[in-house]
Amino acid sequence: MIENVRLIEVKEEILSDNIKLAGELRERLRRAKTMLLNLMSSPGSGKTSLILRTIEGLKGSLRIGVIEADIDSTVDAEKVASRGIPAVQLRTGGFCHLDATMVAQGVDALPVGELDLVIIENVGNLVCPAEFDTGAHKNAMILSVPEGDDKPLKYPLMFSICDLLVVNKIDYLSLSDFDTAVLRERVLALNPRIRILEVSCKTGAGIEGWIDWLNGEAAAFRV
């Protein structure tokens, strides 16, 4: 067990400032009746694809906006905006995660009073985003089948802090030794309260479960 104590201390100070700001943002959005959802995953697991499916699936039920994080490009925000949805791109300039200050700046750039749901597409990373409270009311993550069913063993914090796990790319199951039962067992051992859904953003399979979950959770904010 090897530690670098100095860097840990720096991180802890930053983390405690962040928790306070995250709480303020969460409360402010609750008063505005807007649910904030933080969507996380590895690079290439399908965050943008799931958001595009979500825009389609929520048409007529929830008014949504999207905050896209990207280190150095604007391709995702352009894809979302092309569907007529308010979108903000946060260029993190090398940062590996979003914190509450960055998300608050994204929220300020959206017409929040007119939105029921704001989705944050976090930086593609299973490590750092799990450590920073963004101010979201709910955390969701995607794990894609080609990444393997051992990921809960290796990135336990991410699986522990999420309310929902979306297993994406189930259309790859036939080519893979990914074991869905083993995955469920590993995830539930870390986080017994987590909801697990299986989808394919490519074929559309299972997407209705995700849409139902979003509609149910967001409804609680509108009373």
Nearest approach, Cβ of 221 to a copy of itself (angstroms)? 26
CA distance linking residue 21 with residue 74, whole number of Å: 26
Contact in structure between 170 and 140 (CB atoms under 8 Å): no
For a copy of itself, the binding residue among 32, 96, 112, 188 (CB under 8 A) is 96
- Looking only at the bridges linking them, the beta strands covering 117-121 and 35-40 are parallel
Taking CB under 8 A as the criterion, the residue among 73, 82, 212, 220 binding a copy of itself is: 73
Site for a copy of itself contains 146 (CB under 8 A): yes
Stretch that binds a copy of itself, among 24-32, 52-60, 67-75, 214-222 (CB under 8 A): 67-75
Name the residue among 134, 120, 140, 161 with its Cα closest to residue 26.
Answer: 134
- In degrees, rounded to 5, the angle at the alpha carbon of residue 42 between the alpha carbons of residues 39 and 44 is 95
Q: Are 70 and 95 in contact (CB under 8 A)?
A: no
26, 28, 44, 81: which one binds a copy of itself (CB under 8 A): 44
95 binds a copy of itself, rule: CB under 8 A: yes
Length of the chain: 223
Name the helix (H) or strand (E) containing 66: strand 64-70
The pattern of x and - marking residues 147 through 186 that bind a copy of itself according to CB under 8 A reads: xx-xx-xxxxx-----------x-xx--x-----------
Task: Catalog residues that contact a copy of itself under the rule CB under 8 A.
Answer: 1-4, 6-8, 10, 14, 42-44, 70-73, 75, 90-96, 99, 101-102, 105-106, 123-128, 131, 144-148, 150-151, 153-157, 169, 171-172, 175
